[in-house]
Structure 1
Amino acid sequence: IDPIRLGRLDPFLDLIADQKVTKITHAGDNDYRLLNNLFGIVPRNVFDTQIAAGFVGYKYPVSFRKLVEGELGVHLKKGYAVTDWEGRPFQEKQLRYALNDVLFLPELWQQLGKKLEEQKRPHWAEEEFKLLEKEAYYYKDPNDEALKSNLMRSLKTREKIFLLRLFAWRRKVAEQRDHSKEMVMPAKYIGHIVRSISSGREALKHNRRIPGKLAEKYGATFEELYRRPASPEEREILQRLPSEQDEDPKEQIIMEMLYQVIKYKCLEEDISINMVVPRGELKKIRADEDDALELLAGGWRQEMLGAYFLDWLSNANRMKVDLLDEKIVIHPEEH
Structure 2
Amino acid sequence: LSGVDPMPIYQLVADTSVLTLVHAGEQDLMAVKQAINGNANHLVDTQIAASLIGLPWPSSLGNTIEHLTGLHIDKAHTFTEWDRRPLSKSQLRYAADDVRYLPLVWSRIQEQLVRENRLNWAMQESATQLAGEQVFDPDRQMRRASRGEPLKPAVMTILRELVLLRRELAEADDQPQRTLLSDGALMELVRRKPDNASALREIRFVPQPVAERHGERIVQCIRAAKTMPPIRQEFARLLEDTAVRARIDAMWLAFQTRCMATNIAPNLVTSRAEFTSWLAARIQREQDLAKGSVATDAPLPFAADDWRAESIGRWLSEFIDGRGELALRWDATSGGLRLCDDSK
> Contact between 1:27 and 1:50, CA under 8 Å: does it hold in 2?
yes
Deviation (angstroms), 1:51: 1.3
1:311 and 2:317 aligned = yes
> Contact between 1:296 and 1:310, CA under 8 Å: does it hold in 2?
no
| C-alpha distance after superposition, 1:50-79 (max 9, x if no partner) | 111111122222221122122222111121
- Whole-Å Cα distance in 2 between the matches of residues 66 and 99 of structure 1? 16
Counterpart position of 1:69: 66
> Contact between 1:60 and 1:274, CA under 8 Å: does it hold in 2?
yes
1:140 and 2:136 aligned = yes
Q: Gaps spanning 5+ residues in structure 1: where?
A: 191-208, 227-237, 321-335
- Whole-Å Cα distance in 1 between the matches of residues 181 and 117 of structure 2? 42
Deviation (angstroms), 1:38: 7.5
Q: 1:244 to 1:280 in 2, by over 3 A?
A: closer
Task: Count how many residue pairs are aligned between Structure 1 and Structure 2.
Answer: 276
Q: 1:189 to 1:253 in 2, by over 3 A?
A: closer
DSSP-derived class of the 1:47 partner: strand
> Contact between 1:143 and 1:168, CA under 8 Å: does it hold in 2?
no
1:89 and 2:95 aligned = no
Counterpart position of 2:257: 264
Larger Rg, first or second structure (1 or 2): 1
- Whole-Å Cα distance in 2 between the matches of residues 130 and 212 of structure 1? 39
Q: 1:188 to 1:297 in 2, by over 3 A?
A: same
Match of 1:172 among 165, 168, 171: 168
TM-score normalised according to structure 2 size: 0.61
| C-alpha distance after superposition, 1:230-271 (max 9, x if no partner) | xxxxxxxx9x98465332544433333332222332333233
- Whole-Å Cα distance in 1 between the matches of residues 73 and 159 of structure 2? 43
Counterpart position of 1:113: 110
Which structure has more helix as a fraction of its residues? Answer: 1
Across the aligned residues of Structure 1 and Structure 2, the Cα RMSD in angstroms comes to 4.6
Match of 1:273 among 266, 275, 289: 266
| C-alpha distance after superposition, 1:275-323 (max 9, x if no partner) | 33332332342466xxx9552535433333352x44368xx7x889xxx
> Contact between 2:52 and 2:122, CA under 8 Å: does it hold in 1?
yes
- Whole-Å Cα distance in 2 between the matches of residues 269 and 163 of structure 1? 34
Identical columns (%): 24
Counterpart position of 1:53: 50
Match of 2:10 among 13, 18, 21: 13
Q: 1:244 to 1:78 in 2, by over 3 A?
A: closer
Match of 1:187 among 185, 190, 193: 190
Q: Gaps spanning 5+ residues in structure 2: where?
A: 200-215, 226-230, 282-298, 324-344
TM-score normalised according to structure 1 size: 0.63
